[in-house]
Homo-oligomer: A and B are copies of this chain.
Amino acid sequence: MAEQDTAAAVKIDAAAPAAAGAAAGAPAHSKKSKKGKLQVSLKTPKGTKDWSDTDMVIREAIFSTLSALFKKHGGQTIDTPVFELREILASKYGEDSKLIYNLEDQGGELTSLRYDLTVPFARFVAMNNIQNIKRYHIAKVYRRDQPAMTKGRMREFYQCDFDVAGQYETMVPDAEMLDIAVEGLTSLGIHDFKIKLNHRKILDGIFKVAGVADEDVRRISSAVDKLDKSPWDAVRAEMIDEKGQTPETADKIGEYVKLNGSLRDVYNKLKEDAVISGNELAAQGLTEIEDLMTYTEAFGIDNYISFDLSLARGLDYYTGLIYEIVTAASAAPANAAELKKKAQHGNKDKNPDDASEYVGVGSIAAGGRYDNLVNMFAQASGKKKAAQIPCVGISFGVERIFSIIKQRIAAQAADVKPIYTQVYVMAFGGGKDWTGYLPERMKVAKQLWDAGIETEYVYKAKANPRKQFEAAEKAGAPLAVILGKEEYADGKLRIKRLGPEFADDDGELVDADKFIDTVREKLAQVHEDGVNEVTRLIRGL
C-alpha cells in the first residue's frame, strides 16, 4: 500500500511550513498542490496508531492486571529511556538488527530506539552491578518491520516483560515464568492456549549430531524457527541451498524437529536416543528438563505444556529453555473484510494497516533464558572477573491479547465507557433573566471533587434540562445533583438516580450543607453488587 493512500491530505499556507522547515528540518514528503499550497498529511506515522476511548480502557485494564501479576511474584518495575546508545543494541538481534530505528545524528551521541526491553534490562543490570532482581517493565518498543494488519504487527507496540536475574537453582525461576504465563493469561480470561517449549542446548545438540558446524548453528536455528510458518520442505531447501548444509544433515535435523508432545513423552524419547543423550550439550538440556518436569507438576501447569523441538526463536541471546505461548482462539474475525472497509472509511482508523485488532494466529507470550547477555556487558566494562548473572524472562504480547479481549467484549455487545463520572451537577430554573446558577454549580462540583467523587457539569451558563440530561447520559453518570431555582435558594439540593428505570423518580431533596453524605450513600447503592464492569469483561467472567 502506498505510504499516503489512506491519509487525509492537508493543505496549509506555504508560509508557515517554510519557516518550520528551516527550523525543524525541511519536510521532504510535503508536496505543493497546483495552487502552490503546501500539503502535509494528517495521520500517524506508518505502523503506529493512536489509542483512545474503549480500546484505551481495555489496554489499561490489561496493564493493571499484568502489573498486579508481576507484583504478586515479587517483581519491581523499572523505566529505561526509549532510546539507547546505538552500540548497546548492536549485535544482539541477529538478522533483525536491520529493523532498528536510528535517531538522526544531530551532533552528540548516536542513538537508536529500543528494539525490545530485554537488552536495556541487561544493560541496566550490568551498569549498576546488580546481583539479582525480579523486574517488570511495561513499555513501548520499536521495529521498522512491514506493518501487517492481518497479524497485528505494528512498528510501535507495547511489551509487558517480567525477568529474573541472578544465580539460582536450575529451572526454578524458569518454571515460575511458565506459571506466570498461565496465571497471566487465565486472569485475562484466556484459557485456550498451549505453551510450546524447547531447550537451546538440546536443539544445538541435535544440530551438532546432525553435522552442523559450530559457526552455522545460529543460522540453522533461524531456519528451523520458520517451521511455524513454512513447511519442512522449504526449510530443508533453505538449509541446503542457502545455508550450505548437506541433504543428510538437513534430513537428520528434520527427523528430530518434527517431534512434539508432552514434556514427559518427548523427554523419554530423547533420553532413550543414544545419539542425543550421548551429546554433552543435549544431555545437559535433558537434565534441566527433568527438573522442570518436577516443578511444573508442583505448579500444576504441566498440562499446558507441549515440548516442541521445532521451536527455535529468532533472537541470538537465548541460551537455555525457550518458550512461546500460542492460542487456538485466533482472533481473526469472520468479518475481517468488513472491518477493513470500515477502517478505511471511518473516522477513527484512517489507516487499515494500523488496525491491530485483526490478529491471525501467533504467539501471545514468549521468552526464554539468556545467561550471557549481562555478562557480555559486565565483562566488557573491565570487570574481567564479573560473576555471571543468568537471566530468564517472559514477554506478553499486548496487541494480540488486546485483540482477543476486544473480540470477547464485542461479542457480548458490552459498553465500556472511557469516563468514570459518578455525579452530574445540573441546574433547573426558568425565565429569561435567570442566571443559570453556573458559579453555584461550580461550587457544588468543587465540594464533590474535594470529597474525591468524579463529577462533571455542563460548561454553559444557561443550559436547558434536556441538554444536561443528555450530557450526563453520555458521560455514563449514575447520579445527578440538581440545583432547582427555588430549592437551591432555600438551601436545598436534589439528588436523583439517572437512567431510564428512574425516569419517574424525582429523587431526594437534602440540605445543601450536608449533601455529600447522601451522594455517598446513593453511590454505594449503585455499586452495591461490587462488580466492576471492566474488570469482569477483562477477566471474561
What sequence of 0s and 1s flags, for each residue 290-302 of chain A, a beta carbon within 8 Å of any chain B beta carbon?
Answer: 0000110111100
Contacts of A179 in B (CB 8 A): 446, 449
User: Do residues A74 and B169 form an inter-chain contact, with CB atoms below 8 A?
Assistant: no
Contacts of A102 in B (CB 8 A): 24-25, 103-104, 106
What sequence of 0s and 1s flags, for each residue 64-100 of chain A, a beta carbon within 8 Å of any chain B beta carbon?
Answer: 0000100111111111111111111111110101101
Whole-angstrom CA separation of A220 from B348 in the bound complex: 40
- Whether A48 touches B108, Cβ cut-off 8 Å, given contacts A91-B16, A103-B103, A350-B127, is no
* Minimal beta-carbon separation of A382 from chain B (angstroms): 6
A residues 304-363 with Cβ under 8 Å of B?
A: 347-348, 350
Contacts of A40 in B (CB 8 A): 85, 87-88, 90, 380
- Whether A87 touches B29, Cβ cut-off 8 Å, given contacts A82-B82, A103-B101, A109-B45, is yes
Contacts of A380 in B (CB 8 A): 10-12, 40, 42
User: Do residues A168 and B103 form an inter-chain contact, with CB atoms below 8 A?
Assistant: no
- Which of B44, B87, B91, B144 touches A19 (beta carbons < 8 Å)? B91
Contacts of A350 in B (CB 8 A): 127
- Which of B19, B25, B112, B298 touches A86 (beta carbons < 8 Å)? B25
CB of A524 within 8 Å of the partner chain: no
> In the complex, what residue of chain B is closest to A15 when comparing beta carbons?
B91
Highest count of chain B CB atoms <10 Å: which of A59, A75, A91, A124: A91
* Number of copies of this kind of chain in the complex: 2
Count residues of chain A with CB under 8 A from any CB of chain B: 131
> In the complex, what residue of chain B is closest to A420 when comparing beta carbons?
B71
- Whether A169 touches B20, Cβ cut-off 8 Å, given contacts A76-B53, A104-B104, A449-B73, is no
Whole-angstrom CA separation of A53 from B438 in the bound complex: 46
* Minimal beta-carbon separation of A171 from chain B (angstroms): 10
User: Do residues B52 and A455 form an inter-chain contact, with CB atoms below 8 A?
Assistant: no
User: Do residues A110 and B23 form an inter-chain contact, with CB atoms below 8 A?
Assistant: no
CB of A440 within 8 Å of the partner chain: yes
User: Do residues A72 and B123 form an inter-chain contact, with CB atoms below 8 A?
Assistant: no
- Which of B19, B51, B78 touches A51 (beta carbons < 8 Å)? B78
> In the complex, what residue of chain B is closest to A96 when comparing beta carbons?
B23
* Minimal beta-carbon separation of A328 from chain B (angstroms): 24
User: Do residues B50 and A124 form an inter-chain contact, with CB atoms below 8 A?
Assistant: yes
* Minimal beta-carbon separation of A32 from chain B (angstroms): 13
7 residue pairs of the A-B complex, CB under 8 angstroms, read A12-B380, A27-B86, A44-B84, A45-B109, A53-B76, A56-B79, A71-B419
